[in-house]
Chains A and B, each alone.
Chain A
């Protein structure tokens, strides 16, 4: 089955610790995204990548880092600089289209990050 996998489902972070969230897709999509979701709020874009070895900051990139060494993988690191990391993190992917062609984003099941 094609899809997006995220691991782990739950992640605990200690103060001062960096943690990495995994995102893998086998949809052969070029673009991948990381969103943060807080209770009662919509999704906010952290980083996105249009192609391998390239990525752009989203609206709330501070305290996060990413890499895109392979088309199918887009890991997110939550660094110690992120002072309020408790949230639900969602990874998504999409394939490009032009003009009237619309792109559908497909989402993974999410990772809930909690601070100890």
Chain B
């Protein structure tokens, strides 16, 4: 069965410093992977997705993620955090051959002034 594990439930960074949100997946097949962001009391917004075309995926708002098959990881990074990045982030894998998506438990990012 496919699954995703977000290794940190909370991450705090200072404004202007790099962001790293970690995600590991388990999948027997080449996975479809996504990162979403959720601001308080809002829906989820897609940041980026892995389509197997390139291992380094660039998303919106300066975020990017690198697919590493050998490490079964899909970590989300941003070079410089902004106050507006404070939100909850979800790593998601699509279950192969189905319409179902498996969500990680989320990482809450706090950005300190």
Contacts and interface: CB of A to CB of B under 8 A. Distances in A.
B100 A102 contact: no
Contact of B52 (A90, A100, A103, A106): A100
A110 B41 contact: yes
Interface residues of B, number: 25
A109 to B, nearest CB: 5
A48 B30 contact: no
- Interface size for chain A: under 10, 10 to 19, 20 to 34, or 35 or more residues? 20 to 34
Interface string A87-116: 010101010100011111111111010000
B100 A45 contact: yes
Interface stretch (B14-22, B61-69, B71-79, B103-111): B103-111
A6 B90 CA distance: 21
Contacts of A41: 105-106
B52 to A, nearest CB: 5
Contact of B43 (A90, A100, A103, A104): A90
Interface in A36-51: 40-43, 45, 48, 50
16 contacts: A33-B99, A41-B106, A42-B104, A43-B103, A45-B100, A45-B101, A100-B52, A104-B49, A105-B34, A105-B44, A105-B101, A107-B43, A107-B44, A108-B43, A109-B42, A110-B43
